[in-house]
Every structure is written in structure tokens, then in C-alpha cells.
Amino acid sequence: MSLRQEPITKEELFDSVLERLGPEAREIIEKAYHLSDRMHGDQKRLSGEPYIIHPLNVAGLLNELRLDTAVIAAGLLHDVVEDTEYTKDDMVRDFGEEIANLVEGVTKISEIKSQSKETEAAENIRKMLVATIQDARVIIIKLADKTHNMRTLKFQPPEKALRIAKETLSVYAPIAGRLGMYSIKVELEDLAFQITHPEEFQHIRKSINLKKSEREEYIEKLKIILKQRLSDIHIDAKIEGRAKHFYSIHKKMTTKDKSFHEIFDLRAIRIITDEIRDCYGVLGIVHTLWPPVPGRFKDYVATPKTNFYQSLHTTVIGPDGKPLEVQIRTRDMNRIAEDGVAAHWAYKEGKGITSNLGAGIGPGISTNLMKDNPFRLKWLEILNSWQDSSMDSREFLEDLKFDLHEDEVFVFTPKGEIVEIAKGATVLDFAFRIHTDVGLHAKGAKVNGRMVPLRTELKSGDQVEIQTEKKSKPSPIWLRIVKTASAKQKLKQYFRRLQEENDGRNMDSIELPPSEKVIQEIQKNIRKRPRKKVGTEEKEANIIVAGIKDILVRRAACCSPIPGDEIIGFVTRGRGVSVHKKNCPTAKVQMENMQTLPVRWDGMAEPIPVQIEVRSKDVQGIYLSMVESISGTKTNIIEAGATSNDNKQLIAKFKIEIEHLDQLKEILDNLKLLPDVVYAERVKIGK
């Protein structure tokens, strides 16, 4: 279903509401319209039109999505509290709690103002998601608001229009997609694409128009063939051509490096049936008529997407010898495919709609709480993965964009259960998706029966088995491995709890605080840590000294501790705090003569240079295998070299950047697994 593009009039809205929701609903909508019109008064849009045109068209979109009285009224009133003297209390008095809460949810999204437009956008999006946890209809209203604003984007200054269009493509359109609101998503993408790539947009539009009559004639021939064959098996189905929207064509052209004329799925059909069983009957007919393309069949009926999208997808070689895309679904599936979350809150004739706020207003609204609504539960699960308030705004936005990525992969548990996860996610993301404890205690994994590192990226069809051990604990480098916001949030919560526990234990374990003399010595001889210079050889780790942050420390050259090592600190005159590994021979001697200080690692450190030595049989290709093994852990190699000795042995040395002891252990373990390697250990730099 494509949404109506023409502006709606108030009479059209009132009549449609009357027909669909009844006279009481019309009375509420008229009241909301007149209040909004009066309060906005002489305010104008950038187009010069009266401001009421905007909320009227937002309400029109919400009505077209068949939403309830409260949502349509909130669409009419969504800017009143923000832009006028009318308050929430006034709205509660005039329209009740439900409409007032919906308007407040939308209003709060726009309250953040920041010097940084990127930060402001991220905070507004975060607030939108928080508000949506209370009522998913908030995000539907916001998307309708965004859609009408995008339709009138041409009236904005070019620079601002470009920024808004980019934000829409990277966040709002994907959110609509994640919610299954395909009709909104498609329009937002094409409107934004028109601004971000105007020349490409015009080229694709002209190319599509040139082929329009040819494409329509082709689709009509297919309809005749299919209707005849389906009538033979008594299946009644609606057959229609499926238009490919401009942005989708552009993405396919760029990602697959193809010209417009090489995009064959411009000619696609959708077959809509009454029953699920008929979908598979239609599929059989389609595959009998035309040979299917191997690897292009997807059954989203048996395995729905996370937004509850269901459909059969197949690609066949059509009667002209070219690929033809076919989608097969029921009418109910088609409604959900077009409107997504809106379809789950939509008014149903004779049944009303179910509101997750539990408060009703007007006809067709039930006061039953949808506690068992699987869509709502899934939506809350998705939202909760975006809630980490400790994240920096930009970090939050990047995680959100990854989770909103359209592409997903389907993998299997050892029991054959299907798990849907974002494309690019790792084995470790999968572990946290199964259960938090599985992720926190993950020790290893098998993919398709073969042992793989936790950082391994998953592909559709993989069968994944996570190996756990109670004693196994997360490493800080896992924050670099996981890709999904949900896994990152669970890891950060774990490290925050661990930090709090460690702070408590450290305070309890120190019988007496460092003497005043020692503190004075620190203040006298130890400067605050200076800003790091780009390109310096020795990179600092974050180390807390006696509970004090930002103290300049020196990692002892004799043992060069790295994050994860147990460490101890010594006050040295004029050189600050010297940090050694606890088992360092030099440290054991100094403990008898020097003042020790409690020191500990503080979160993630800057990468630290470490040298390793690897010895192997001098066989062809072994050195390249070593390099590939190290690079496979996403580790930066600073220097590398190799020599041979008289015993036909290859001695390779690599200076690498390490963030944590666990990372070094993984590298050394992987190297030792290479068939011809006999030794792989860390050595002192320069040795």
C-alpha cells in the first residue's frame, strides 16, 4: 500500500473518521482539530501555509494507517504543548490522560537542544525510544510527523535539508523498517534520496518511466498465466505488480556495481491469498511454471522476521529468460508487511483496538492491557537493547544504526531452533542473544561443528554451539568484539558491577590508607598524566594509583605489564609511580626497600606495544600463515620480520598492539595451533 500523497482537508479527515470509527470519534477529532487550529493561530510553515496544515496531514497519515481515535487526536495536537501556551494539564482536562500522554511522549523528543547537531539528534532519538517503551504509538506518531516534514523539505535551506535527509536515511527510515512499517520506510527513503543524490534520483526516475509500458505489459501477461493455473486448483488470489522504489534500486546498483539495465527485479509480482496453505500451493504452481533460481528462496512464513514480517520470497527465470521476483503472502500478512507495528495497534471492525496504555477514549478502543501480545514483547526487547544511558550520544547512535541495519542472518542452535540476528554480528553476540549468563561465561564456540574464535562473524545457515564455563569471565576486549547494542549493554553492566565490587574490596583490603608522607611524595614528585602525543612509541594504560585517577605512571621496562596482568606500584623519586607485574623478579626485590602503592587497571587501555617471538619449521608459506593468524584477531602489527637459522628453523618477531592480556593469550594460542609452529611467546621489546 502506498500512502496518499495529496494533502488532506479537514472535511475529508472528519468524514473518514466518521465512516471508520463512528460519530463519537468524529466529535473528538473535530474538537482536537479546532483546538489545534486556534492555539497555533497565525503561526506559519516555511512554505507560507497556515501551521494547522502540518498536524492535519499528520493526523491524515495516522488515519490512513487505520489507527485509533487517541492516536489521530494526538497527531492533531502533537505540537500544541511544545509551541503554544496550552499545557499538559489543559490537555488532560479537555481530552483525558491517554491523549495527553501520547502528546507528551512526542513533545519530549524535541526538547533537547545542543550546540552539536549530531548530539542533539542522538539525544532526541534516544528520548523517542524511551518514550516509546511507555506506548509504541508514540513512535508511529513521530514517524508520521517525520513523513509530512520530509514531504515539505524543499522549503528548508539546502544545508539543513541535506542534514535532515541524511539523518532520515540513517535512522528514521531504518526504524520504520525495524517496525515493519514498509509504506512509511519506502517513502522516507525516496524523499531523502531525492535530496542526498538528486542526479541519481532523476536518472533512475527517468529510466523507470521509459520502461513503464513494457513492464506493465509483461506483468499483465504473467497475471493471465497465473490466474488460469491457480483457478485449476481452486485458489483465489490477487496478483499485482510490485514497484521497486528508487532508493532500493540505487542501493542495489551501488552495492552490486550494476547499471540500471542490469537490475532485473524491477519486474516483480506479489500474489496475495486468503489462507496460509494457499501460499505454498501458489509457490508450487510458480515453480512448476518457471524454474527457480537456486539459493533465492526464503520462507519468512515459517520463520518470521523480528518485526513479524511474513511472506514467501522466490526468484524464478520468467518466460522471457530473465529473473523474476515473486512474493507470496496472505492478506493479513500483507497488511502487517505494509504497516508493521501500526497494524498491531490498528482499529479492527467489531473488535476495537487494544491499547497498551490501558486507558480508552472513544469507540473502538479497548482498555485491556496486551500483556501477551508477542509483537509488543518483542518490541520492548528491542527497545531495551537501546537504553544504556551511560553511552556517549555518538556511540549510542552508531550502535543504534548497526541494530537498525536491514540485513539479518538466520542461524541455528544445536537443537535446530532458529535465531535471527543482525548481519555482521559475531558468535559472542549470539551467546548474549541466547542468554546473558551464556554470554558472560562463554569460553569457546563451534560453528558447523568446527571450533572458531568468539569474534567470528556469523552467516545465514550457520549452526552455533556456545561452550561455557562457570569460572570463565568476560574480558574488556569483548567490547571490541560484540557488534549489537544489546550485547554491549550487558557487558557494560557487568563491568560496572565489577568495578563497584572491586572498589569496595580495595577499600576493605587496605588496612591503613597510604601515609600522609606517601601522599605528599606523590603530590610532590608525580605530575598529572599529560595528554598523549600522536605517534609516541610508548602508549599509556589507564591505571588508578591509591584510588587517584590521572596520575602519571611508568610501566617498568623489565616486565612491561599490560592490562590484565596483576600489578604493583612503587614510588620513585622524580619518576612518578613505577608499575610492575606482581611476579616480576625486580618487583620482589624492591618490595623489601620501597614504599608500595595499590594500583589497578581502569577499564580499557590504549593499545600497548608488545613483542612476540614465534619459531617454526622453515617451510613454504608458514610466515604468511603467522601474519594471517595475528591479523585474524583484528590486531595491529607494528613491525614484523623473520630469519632462518642453521637448524632449518624460522624465527619470526612481531611487534603488535595489545589492549588486554586476553588478547595476547588468544594470539599466542592461535599461533601454537599452526601445524609447523613449535614456540610462540612474549619477549622483551628489542630482544
3-class SS letters over 598-653: CEEECCCCCCEEEEEEEEEECCCCHHHHHHHHHHCCCCCEEEEEEEECCCCEEEEE
Domain count, the chain: 5
Q: Is residue 665 part of a domain?
A: yes
Domain boundary among the residues 562, 578, 601 is at: 601
User: Cβ atoms within 10 A of the Cβ of 5, count?
Assistant: 7
pLDDT confidence of residue 32: 95
15 and 156 belong to one structural domain: yes
Using the 3D structure, point to which of 561, 576, 601 is the last residue of a domain.
601
**Residue 270 predicted with pLDDT over 60:** yes
Query: CATH number of the domain that 480 lies in?
Result: 3.10.20.30
- φ and ψ of 648, to 5 deg: 55, 40
- Do 117 and 196 fall into the same domain? yes
Q: Note the pLDDT of residue 264.
A: 56
Domain end call among 320, 339, 358: 339
Q: What is the tally of helices (H) and strands (E) in the chain?
A: 28, 22
- Both 587 and 478 in one domain: the answer is no
Determine, yes or no, domain membership for 123. Answer: yes
Question: What's the CATH code of the domain at 266?
Answer: 3.30.460.10
Place of cell 512499517: 181
Residues 669 and 624 in one domain: yes
Q: Is residue 386 situated within a structural domain? A: no
The pLDDT of residue 680 is 94
Instruction: Name the region of 457 (left: φ>0; alpha: ψ -120 to 50; beta: rest).
Output: beta
pLDDT tens readout for residues 403-456: 666 567 778 888 877 787 888 899 999 999 888 899 999 988 889 888 888 888
**Do 435 and 518 belong to one domain?**
no
Residues 280 and 199 in one domain: no
CATH number at 652 reads 3.30.70.260
Among 264-273, 287-296, 334-343, 399-408, the range with the most confident prediction by mean pLDDT is 287-296
Which pLDDT value is given to residue 665? 86
If asked whether residues 30 and 44 sit together in one domain, one would say: yes
Query: Which one of 24, 27, 30, 82 is the catalytic residue?
Result: 82
pLDDT of 351 strictly over 70: no
- 502 pLDDT band (50/70/90 cuts)? low
Same domain, 161 and 268: no
Identify the band that residue 357 occupies on the pLDDT scale cut at 50, 70 and 90. Answer: very low
Does 373 reside within a domain? no
Better-predicted residue by pLDDT, 122 or 272: 272
Question: Which member of 24, 37, 83, 457 is catalytic?
Answer: 83
82 is catalytic: yes
Residue 621 reports pLDDT greater than 80: yes
Q: Is 458 among the domain residues?
A: yes
**Mean pLDDT score of the chain:** 80
Q: Give residue-wise pLDDT tens across range 657-678.
A: 887 787 888 899 889 989 899 9
211 and 108 belong to one structural domain: no
Q: What is the pLDDT of residues 28-67, one digit of tens each?
A: 999 999 999 999 998 999 888 999 999 999 999 999 988 9
Are 36 and 136 members of one domain? yes
Residue 4 lies in a domain: no
Same domain flag for 551 and 437: no
In a domain, 644, yes or no: yes
Indicate whether 374 belongs to any domain. Answer: no
Q: Are residues 65 and 164 in the same domain?
A: yes
pTM for the model stands at 0.63
Domain around 656: 608-683
Whichever domain contains 113, its CATH number is: 1.10.3210.10
| Rounded mean pLDDT, 242-266 | 75
The type of residue at 14 is F
Dihedral, CA of residue 672, residue 674, residue 677 and residue 683, to nearest 10: -40
Residue 441 confidence (pLDDT): 92
The dihedral of CA 229, 231, 235, 241: what is its sign?
positive
Annotated catalytic residue 83: yes
